[in-house]
Amino acid sequence: MQYTITLTAGEPQRQEFSGQTFVLLDTGASPTIDMALEVLGFAVENFNGVRRGLKIQSPGAEQFTGATFTSAVNTTIQVVVSAANISIGYQDGANVNATIVGPLPLTVSNDRGSLANPVYVNSVTYSDAPAATLQDNAAVAVGGAGAALLAAKSNRKNIRFTNIGTDSVAIGFTGITWANRCIVLDSGDTWVEDRAANMAWAAVTDTGKSASVTTQEVMV
């Protein structure tokens, strides 16, 4: 079922639903939102700074029963919750430059939906140029107060994060706390990020713990 939810800036809005697959179709006027996903009325996952296209599927028989959404600005979002394993195939900021070689005539279809359809495509571009620069950065010491790992960089295509410390560390967007951790690296773990590599990244540990994170940047 599809839900349209109006959010007021800074005010959490709870929506009840039931299903095993959750898809965030659109975030409206806000580029990102925060979300707490519920099972049996209790929050089981917290997500900060998520963008449209996020898909989450329950790993077991339990169904999602609701979520609380928060936006920094007034916006209207759209979500789909279903018992089926559904997917929405779109990607922000992709560019496609295609050279088509084949027998003539070529059959071309431009059936792309309508403006009211959430999967409407206004224009599609895609770029998969090879890397131009690879940069290995010095380790960053991380504690319970958090630390910045990388500033935003528009031409960064990929990041590899490795925890070379002894304690677990959480990585995410600027302002991440241990309480809202999502990506957690134990000692020796590596995370490869290619969906949000251009954004600023930070890290934090639990209170009284410490870690050391190295990063490797791939630029185009």
In the predicted model, what is the mean pLDDT of residues 207-213? Answer: 97
pLDDT range class, residue 95, cuts 50, 70, 90: very low
Q: Which residue has the higher pLDDT, 101 or 207?
A: 207
Distance linking the first and last C-alpha atoms of the chain? 40
Assigned token pair, 133:
């620069």
Given this model, what pLDDT does residue 110 score?
Answer: 47
- Answering whether pTM is above 0.75, one says no
How much is the pLDDT for 44? Answer: 83
| Residue 98 CA from chain centroid, whole number | 27
Q: pLDDT (tens digit, 9 = 90+) per residue, 126-178?
A: 456 688 899 999 999 999 999 999 999 999 999 999 999 999 999 999 999 99
Mean pLDDT score of the chain: 85
25-83 pLDDT tens trace:
999 999 999 999 998 878 888 899 999 888 888 877 788 999 999 999 999 999 999 88
pLDDT (tens digit, 9 = 90+) per residue, 52-66?
888 888 877 788 999
Chain Cα centroid distance, residue 82: 20
- Phi and psi at 142, nearest 5°, equal -125, 135
Q: What percent of the chain has pLDDT over 70?
A: 80
- Kindly state the average pLDDT of the residues 7-31: 93
Reduce the DSSP state of residue 30 to 3 states and report it: coil
